[in-house]
Structure 1
């Protein structure tokens, strides 16, 4: 890879990297010169993603359950063994959960969404930050959601989990502010991926109606923003929230 590429020599982890937004992010980071390790729970999808991305650069994989601390730590060691270091972490793995009013959600469903969407990023940051501190460099990008700022009806578990990701980002950004490790998040409106299949058509229509551009975001648009946040061009921004909402966000 040419040294002129903005991420040349960097090594990045993308959770939920085998499909959707995570796959698009991995592709963009590879195109910008990074090596990547795809973390995902789906071993078959990981194999397929690696096969299709390997022509772009160095791709490793780790099957991981982001809600399990031991699984995350094993994936950290797998990444280090395959790629030698960790510079970048993109916490992308997440689920939408069922659409229902808060009082109609089961406690199990509430916990499942919070576990994957919020505890997952916590455990991944907990596992990766010590490696970044050793290297004296790091970029962490958390994928939150505009729902974490506004609160979508019939998605209280998802909205609460993403609000938590925003808070986690701000806290960790301050804790690492003098360590050359920057922590930021993006808050997309709906990005057109298979996650829409988890939602009712009524909920999808509601979310589209809130976007002034009158379209959903594209995976490549999210990947472009993440790539910049992973680069050294992003140098004086941490604990920040970057909107990707087609004009929906008002703050």
Structure 2
């Protein structure tokens, strides 16, 4: 059994997941499993060549058999799992609700919402065996999931799937006294997904650098406690400036 902290980061071959992975990989006390649909992605190969504590692993969102196999591999390799960063997700549809095909909703709910359930169900036994006695399940959500600070016009597909997953996080917190479960809004990060949304709003790219967003997320992981963090919808960090993407609070309203 390892004395190090063992992490699983899903959707880790690019964007926010990869940036979080890089920060964790540089820690000598971390073993990091890089969950990706393509674990042979060059980005993961390069990182694993630099950091032998990085283990690329095949991860397919909402695939029960695959999720169970991935957790079994983590157990075989590391013997424990302490922190899950559930980052994998999609945002492939924007536009008015009245014109959006039902298939778009179904696809996003399958991945962004049910994928969260499938992952937790596959991982819970190993996660609850964590020697920290306070395992972490952190869900990378979005400010578009907030109904108290609504910004979801033309984003009902993505926003609703993430809002439903936020409810799952509240349920996990309530049902599991030792689990630290929380959602994090990563802001409007300059990822492929974020930049696609930016272009729809007449911008060249999203306003927040991925590296800064990842640093904020990792800080939330490091400081997480049941009392301080669990059952909450956290901002990756307060940002200021008064623009549509700024939120100067530590938490988002549900």
Q: Where on the TM-score scale, by shorter chain, does this alignment land: which range?
A: 0.7 to 0.9
* Bigger share in helix: 1
Unpaired segments ≥5 residues, structure 1: 1-7, 209-214
| SS in structure 1 of the partner of residue 88 of structure 2 | coil
Equivalent residue for 1:131? 126
Q: CA deviation at 1:163?
A: 1.0
TM-score, with length taken from structure 1: 0.83
Equivalent residue for 1:152? 152
Cα separation, partners in 2 of 1:230 and 1:61, compared to 1, 3 Å: same
Q: State the alpha-carbon separation in 1 of the partners of residues 95 and 83 from structure 2.
A: 35
Equivalent residue for 1:211? none
Structure 1 stretch displaced more, 87-96 or 240-249:
240-249
Instruction: Select which of 30, 35, 42 maps to 1:34.
Output: 30
TM-score, with length taken from structure 2: 0.83
Asked if structure 1 preserves the Cα contact closer than 8 Å seen for 2:86 and 2:140, the reply is yes
Number of residue equivalences: 233
Question: Is the counterpart of residue 224 in structure 1 residue 224 in structure 2?
Answer: no
Q: State the alpha-carbon separation in 2 of the partners of residues 111 and 246 from structure 1.
A: 33
Cα separation, partners in 2 of 1:108 and 1:79, compared to 1, 3 Å: same
Instruction: Select which of 44, 51, 67 maps to 2:46.
Output: 51
Query: C-alpha root-mean-square deviation of aligned residues, in Å?
Result: 2.3
Moved over 4 A (4+): none
Asked if structure 2 preserves the Cα contact closer than 8 Å seen for 1:172 and 1:183, the reply is yes
Equivalent residue for 1:183? 181
Q: State the alpha-carbon separation in 2 of the partners of residues 76 and 246 from structure 1.
A: 36
Q: CA deviation at 1:43?
A: 3.6
Q: Deviations over 1:27-46 (max 9, x none)?
A: 1112233111111112442x
| SS in structure 1 of the partner of residue 56 of structure 2 | strand
Q: Deviations over 1:34-89 (max 9, x none)?
A: 111111112442x5313224423501122121111111111111122222211110
Unpaired segments ≥5 residues, structure 2: 241-245
Equivalent residue for 1:234? 224
Q: State the alpha-carbon separation in 1 of the partners of residues 201 and 152 from structure 2.
A: 9
Equivalent residue for 2:235? 243
Structure 1 stretch displaced more, 73-82 or 218-227:
218-227
Q: State the alpha-carbon separation in 1 of the partners of residues 184 and 202 from structure 2.
A: 20
Cα separation, partners in 2 of 1:226 and 1:53, compared to 1, 3 Å: farther
Q: CA deviation at 1:98?
A: 1.8
